[in-house]
Chains A and B, each alone.
Chain A
Amino acid sequence: MSGTPQKSNRSLASLNALLSGMELPESGPWAQAARADALTRLNVVGLPARRDEYWLFSRPDTLIQPEPVTAPLFKDADDAAVFSDIDQLQLVFNDGVFDADASDDLALAGVEISRLADVSAGDNHWATGLYGVLETNGQSPVSRPLAILNTAFAPDGILIRVTGKAGRPIGLKYNQVSENSDAMLHHVVQVEAGATLTLLENGGGAARLNTVLEVDVADGAAFNHVRAQGRNHERRAATHIFARLGAESVFKSFTLTANGALTRNECVVDVLGDNAIAHIAGAAVGDGDFHHDDTVFITHDSLNCESRQVFKKVLRNGATGVFQGKILVKPGAQKTDGYQKSQALLLDGDSQFLAKPELEIYADDVACSHGSTSGAIDDGALFYLQSRGVPLGLAQDLMVLAFMADALQEIEDEDIAEDIRSHLEAWLVRRRD
């Protein structure tokens, strides 16, 4: 599965088809070696194929075919955008192209911000030690070819070095402006020792979006990430987060996915320092043509660390949810406390949830477990609510929000959590029977 040297002709053909006409983009010379290396690696591992065990539940076809599937623009969004009430430094991308006029200045107390596409950056860029590096580390034991493709070809992205407490959150806004857009962005974040940053991402970004986020959270640093993936029903996305955690550091990532024909969110976290905390959570709501895949790999390689995976999916009208979550506890990673929870609420008989929780443990003094469930709304509770006068639709929404509550609790900032909650509620209200 990973880095198979003998690739089939078909796999080679699909890689050649995708790469024909593509050229490594221009960026600072510091990134060119990583890009060239990525292209070499991609030619070794090839593209994901249906027979790959890691792609058993999600078809990669539309993510790797040369042209993206057309996704008509999403129009009827009359409500306020996610995070619009959150004070932030906002950076805007249209179909993956940076929009300087719509963006704030790249100046923020405690933070250095630059762009991957900035060709004037010299050889000694701080991001050299991270760009493509965390991604490469994340290729073993399972290869993630779409991330390699991104390292090689992403024309732009934001490079953030945090040296203190960031004055306010940095928000990345992804707009889709054409229905055939194919966008790739690669962000690098270095949160230096003791520093803190909240990063927001919002929007579908393109008909097909491929993002990579590499995050190094140094000793005693904290990184909070909250993402909403847009409301376009037709869009497709493959995203990767690669995080490396130092001692006493905190990493928290939450993703809201409402709609989208195909979403594959991979999150690869290496917990390297002692007493670190990693929480990865998501709430996904899908109605109809919706395929949502959370693939998570957490490696514990240090003492006394905690990891949480909390994923909730609400599915109806044939929507599909996938969870592949793994906790790997390396020899010597004693006192690891790892838990993964993946739960689906199936609102009808047509929807499905496919879960593959995995624990692989080589230390003897750890507490690791998982809980994966799928079920319907409790009829008894619904009747109880109705018998108190709560109309059926509202009663169902209350139950659905209650079901997702513990994923939302993973969001550090209460205002941001409330913002996400209100958008989930609005999504439900729009679908009341």
Chain B
Amino acid sequence: MLNIKGLKVKLEDEDKVILKGLDLDVPAGAVHAIMGPNGSGKSTLSYVLSGRAGYEVTGGSATLDGIDLLDMAPEDRAAAGLFLAFQYPVEIPGVGNMTFLRTAVNSQRKARGEEEMSATEFLKTIRAKAKTLKINADMLKRPVNVGFSGGEKKRNEILQMAMLEPKMCILDETDSGLDVDAMKLVSEGVNALRDEGRSFLVITHYQRLLDHIKPDVVHILANGRIVKTGGPELALEVENNGYADILAEVS
């Protein structure tokens, strides 16, 4: 599904290299987790894959089902099936949550040459999905993320994911800012979307999230590279011992 080879990325405005030849392969239906110390390049990876400005790719490739992601505009990557759940979801005053989601769903459908979703079908679908995520009608009406609590913002991200039905979901520290109950709710939302045709890349600092969203594979990202790959037990090792042992072992 997602195939990254030797990806090298620097900041556009300064001479700072962040990813230094990153290799990653997430097969269809798999859940992979990436853990790593602060500044290792986790968020950069999610932004570069989704097409945020400010980064320059100096080498390597990233493909989604064989299609080159790095040459595409962000909206085309989304239409191709890529989704990033933001660490800090953006507030957009003046744009209603419903309008936003309906525009997004139908823009993607249009880009893929599919029929647009009717207003009635959209309403029916979003109401059902919002209910399972405990998102009330008021949150749907309000401007995107404006006045939402941290937990509401993350639930809204998962609602967008559920509505857009992407193939490849990247979750960038979705657990940050969540209390135990909210984390459970968000995780249930993610787990409900697990499917043999859908892959997940879960970026997190803490093993805790991985108790709820159980990964098939755990990668350790340090200094711009994947330095170790293992099973769920690798996350436990990080939780218990920190990164020092692993980093010492691979250096």
User: Which residues of A395-421 are within 8 A (CB) of B?
Assistant: 395, 398-399, 401-403, 405-406
| Distance from B94 Cβ to chain A, minimum over Cβ atoms (Å) | 3
List the A residue with the shortest CB-CB distance to B89: A384
Contact between B107 and A384, CB atoms less than 8 A apart? no
Is B152 close to A, CB under 8 A? Answer: no
Question: For the complex, is B67 an interface residue (Cβ under 8 Å from A)?
Answer: no
Which of A32-40, A255-263, A386-394 touches B? A386-394
B78 contacts A389, C-beta separation under 8 Å = yes
Answer whether A387 and B74 are a contact pair too, CB < 8 Å, given A379-B53, A398-B103. yes
Q: B111 to A381, Cβ gap below 8 A?
A: no
C-beta contact mask, A293-304 vs B, less than 8 Å → 1, else 0? 000000000000
Q: Say if the beta carbon of A380 comes within 8 Å of chain B.
A: yes
Of A383, A390, A405, which one neighbours B103 at CB under 8 angstroms?
Answer: A390
Q: Assess whether B100 is in contact with A385, with CB atoms less than 8 Å apart.
A: yes
B90 touches A398 (CB 8 A): no
| B residues less than 8 Å from A386 (CB atoms) | 51, 73-75, 78
Interface centre among B77, B94, B143 (most CB of A within 10 A): B94
Q: Which of A378, A391, A403 has the most CB of B within 10 A?
A: A391
Tell whether, in the assembled complex, residue A389 and residue B75 are in contact, meaning their CB atoms are under 8 Å apart: yes
Taking A379-B53, A384-B86 as contacts, is the C-beta distance between A389 and B92 under 8 angstroms?
no
- Decide if A389 touches B111 in the complex (CB within 8 Å): yes
Task: Please name all residues of chain B whose beta carbon is closer than 8 Å to the beta carbon of A381 when the two chains form the complex.
Answer: 90-92
In A22-61, which residues have CB < 8 Å from any B CB?
none
The proximity string for B residues 161-195 relative to A, scoring 1 for CB distances below 8 Å and 0 otherwise, is 00010000000000000000000000000000000
In the complex, the number of residue pairs spanning A and B with C-beta atoms less than 8 Å apart equals 82
CA distance A385 to B73 in the complex (A): 12
Q: Which residues of A contact B90 (CB under 8 A)?
A: 378, 380-381, 383-384
- What is the CA–CA distance of A401 and B51 in the complex, to the nearest angstrom? 25
Residue of B nearest to A401 (CB): B94
Contact A390 B104 (CB under 8 A): yes
* Interface residue tally on B, bucketed by range: 20 to 34
Contact B75–A384 (Cβ < 8 Å): no
Closest partner residue, chain A, to B93 (CB atom): A402
B95, CB-defined interface residue at 8 Å? yes
A403 to B, closest residue via Cβ: B94
Contacts of B144 in A (CB 8 A): 384
How far is the CB of B179 from the nearest CB of chain A, in Å? 24
In the assembled complex, the CB of B6 is this many whole angstroms from the nearest CB of chain A, namely 24
**Bound CA–CA A385/B143 (angstroms):** 13
Q: Give Cα A402–Cα B144 distance, bound, in whole angstroms.
A: 11
A108 to B109, CA, bound (A): 50
Residues of B within 8 A of A398 (CB): 95, 99-100, 103
Contact of A399 among B75, B86, B92, B107 (CB under 8 A): B92
Measured between alpha carbons, how far is A391 from B79 in the docked complex, in Å? 10
CB–CB B94/A384 < 8 A? no
Report the Cα distance A404→B166, complex, angstroms: 32
Q: Using Cβ atoms and an 8 Å threshold, which residues of chain A touch B87?
A: none
In which size bucket is the chain A interface? Answer: 20 to 34
The answer for the CA separation of A399 and B91 in the assembled complex, in Å, is 12
- A369 to B94, alpha carbons, bound, how many Å? 22
A394-B103 in contact (CB<8A): yes
Q: In the assembly, what is the distance between CA of A395 and CA of B75, in Å?
A: 10
Q: Are A383 and B92 in contact (CB under 8 A)?
A: no
Interface residues as binary, B92-117 with A (CB distance below 8 Å gives 1, 0 otherwise): 11110001110111011001000000
With A380-B90, A381-B90 as given contacts, are A387 and B78 in contact (CB-CB < 8 Å)? Answer: yes
Cβ–Cβ contact A383 & B107, under 8 A? no
- Given contacts A389-B104, A394-B103, A394-B107, whether A383 and B74 have CB atoms under 8 Å apart is yes
Q: Distance in Å from the Cβ of B184 to the closest Cβ of chain A?
A: 25
Flag A340-365 by CB within 8 Å of B: 1 or 0 each.
Answer: 00000000000000000000000000
For A390, the closest partner residue in chain B by CB is B107
B84 contacts partner chain A, Cβ-Cβ < 8 Å: yes
Whether B44 sits at the interface, judged by CB under 8 Å, is: no
Q: How far is the CA of A405 from the CA of B95 in the complex (A)?
A: 9
Contact of A391 among B75, B89, B99 (CB under 8 A): B75
**Measured CA separation A380–B86 after assembly (Å):** 11
C-alpha spacing A51/B105, complex, angstroms: 55
B207 close to A (CB within 8 Å): no
CB distance A387 to B89 under 8 Å?
A: no
A402 touching B95, Cβ below 8 Å: yes
- The answer to whether B208 has its CB under 8 Å from any CB of chain A is no
User: Could you say which of A384, A398, A405 has the most chain B C-beta atoms within 10 Å of its C-beta?
Assistant: A384
Judge whether B228 is part of the interface by a CB distance below 8 angstroms. Answer: no
Q: A380, A388, A395, A402 — which one has the most chain B CB atoms within 10 A of its CB? A: A388
Give per-residue flags for B135-161: 1 if the beta carbon is below 8 A from chain A beta carbons, else 0: 000000001100000000000000010
Bound CA span A1–B51, Å: 56
User: Do residues B73 and A392 form an inter-chain contact, with CB atoms below 8 A?
Assistant: yes
Closest CB-CB distance, A315 to chain B, in whole Å? 18
B50 at the interface (CB under 8 A from A): yes
Interface residue from A379, A387, A390, A405 paired with B94 (Cβ < 8 Å): A405
In the complex, whether B134 has a CB less than 8 A from a CB of chain A is no
Closest to B112 in A: A389
Instruction: Indicate whether B52 reaches chain A with its CB closer than 8 angstroms.
Output: yes
Residues of A close to B75: CB separation below 8 A:
386-387, 389-392, 395
Q: Tell me which of A388, A395, A403 contacts B160 (CB under 8 A).
A: A388
Cβ B84 vs Cβ A387 within 8 A: yes
CB nearest to B161 among chain A residues: A388
Measured in the bound complex, the distance between the Cα atoms of B50 and A387 in whole Å is: 7
**Residues of the A chain whose Cβ atoms lie less than 8 Å from the Cβ of B52:** 383, 387
Q: How far is the CA of A371 from the CA of B155 in the complex (A)?
A: 33
Pull 9 A–B residue pairs with CB atoms less than 8 Å apart, ordered by A: A379-B53, A385-B92, A386-B73, A387-B78, A389-B108, A389-B164, A390-B100, A398-B100, A402-B93
* In the A-B complex, the 9 residue pairs with the closest CB atoms: A402-B94, A389-B78, A389-B108, A388-B104, A386-B74, A384-B90, A405-B94, A386-B75, A402-B95
Binding site for B on A (CB under 8 A): 378-381, 383-392, 394-395, 398-399, 401-403, 405-406
Q: A387-B86, A388-B164, A390-B104 are in contact. List 7 more A-B contacts (CB 8 A).
A: A380-B90, A383-B52, A387-B52, A387-B75, A388-B101, A389-B107, A399-B94
